[in-house]
Amino acid sequence: MRVEEDFAKCATRIFSILKKAAATSPGAPRYLYLDVQGHRNAAGGYDADALEIIKEFLTGFLSPYLTEISTPLYQARNPKPQREDIPDVLNIRDPDRDHAFDHRELRVRNRDSHPDERRSRPPVRAIAEYLGLDEPICQICWQAPVERAHVVPESLGGSNDVRNFALLCPRHHREAPDVVDAEAFWSWVDYACERDGHMKWQGVEPEMVVRAERVGIHIDTRGPVRKSLHHFGRVRGELVRHYGWCPEDFTGGDHWGA
């Protein structure tokens, strides 16, 4: 579960992986291993999105279609034969996350309602550890050096809690939107990861790419990746409708990200 994903995005991605595995190797045992990046609450435990994925989505919905599930909280084996009648479509509806609001009345929306009250910014290393990164690199392109990017800026009411930071290279930091809704920021990171995914593999030895291909991992070293133009349009539309952005607010004028 990536830090930029909320429940709906993570559940949709896991479901697509399940469908692909069933189509690629029908009838073969399926083992799901879940790790969680970030998504911590004030007490140090997992936040609501992570707990919903671990305790409700995996156990309550996906478990019949898997042989075994391993998560940071439990490991469980299906006592019954693995089912193959996986639904064609995953429908998710959350009325508590309706984005039809007036940006002029929008309150600060952090992922946690009890942020740390620290006044100074946390060290880069502390942010990297929270994000589950072995070293401080840009979450989008894996390049260094990095800058500390507020999810919700201080000027808009954001805190200096380690959970309110991302690590971005200077280029992606300049491009990141300034919004008061944490999920809008992470939605942009999700888009940028797909758009610039090829940058993660720049400088990788060709032999490593070949080895990855041998075990079924396809690494796209070409670019730019443009898989999410529709998603980008939605993000851009939200910034205009809910936050009052105008063309000048987008890096590169009204062709921001194009």
Burial (CB count within 10 angstroms: exposed 0-12, middle 13-18, buried 19+), residue 144 = exposed
Q: Report the phi/psi class of residue 27: left, alpha or beta, with left for phi > 0 and alpha for psi in -120 to 50.
A: left
The amino acid at 122: P
Task: Identify the band that residue 249 occupies on the pLDDT scale cut at 50, 70 and 90.
Answer: low
When mean pLDDT is compared over 95-99, 162-166, 231-235, the highest value belongs to: 162-166
Least confident segment among 32-41, 63-72, 100-109, 228-237: 100-109
DSSP assignment of 177-229, as one string? ---SBHHHHHHHHHHHHHHTGGGGGTT--HHHHHHHHHTT-----SS---S-H
Stretch 23-43: mean pLDDT = 93
Residue pair 119/158 in contact by the 8 Å Cβ criterion: no
pLDDT band at 257 (very low <50, low <70, confident <90, very high): very low
pLDDT in tens, 125-149: 999 999 988 899 999 998 999 999 9
Separation between Cα atoms, residue 11 and residue 103, nearest integer Å: 28
Distance, in Å, from the CA atom of 163 to the CA atom of 115, rounded to the nearest integer, reads 8
Residues 89 and 171: their CA atoms lie apart, in Å, by: 37
Which residue's structure tokens are 């070409």?
222
Residue 156: pLDDT over 70: yes
pLDDT surpassing 80 at residue 99? no
